[in-house]
Copies of this chain bind each other. A is one copy, B any other.
Amino acid sequence: MTTPISIVTLGVENLERSRKFYEQGLGWPVSSDSGDEIVFINLPGTILALYPYDDLAEETGLPSTRGLGFGGVTLAQNFKSKEEVDQVMAQAKSVGALILTPPVDRHWGGYSGYFADPDGYPWEIAWGPDFEYNEDGSLKLRE
């Protein structure tokens, strides 16, 4: 079996602000394995981690592009109806997320919008007519 993506780590400017956005704003569960320098959000499957941007950049050895724009990565959550997409986007907006694009019909047949978290990381909230799901809520693709 292929190894899953264990952790997606976002380099953040203000750990407390980001934790508050995900934990209190979106209602996501923070693991007690978190500490002063890292926050782990216990999503099913791949864990989401929050870590200071400069420390993370230093670990990778790559130069910082903080605040300059799109970092090249998007994270998506897929839902089972257009209504859920609208609800999640509205919730994100209500807790201070910047709406990058409101939900629209996409050329591939789906419906999705993008919001940015406090550091500008883009989340796509999506519904598609053909999406199938596993029991744990993960997306089921063909082999």
Contacts and interface: CB of A to CB of B under 8 A. Distances in A.
Nearest to A51: B74
Given A46-B45, A65-B70, A101 B1 contact: no
Contacts of A76: 5-9
A29 B143 contact: yes
Interface residues of A, number: 65
Interface in A122-143: 122, 124, 126, 136-139, 141-143
Contacts of A44: 1-2, 4, 45, 138
A66 interface: yes
A141 B60 contact: no
A64 B73 contact: no
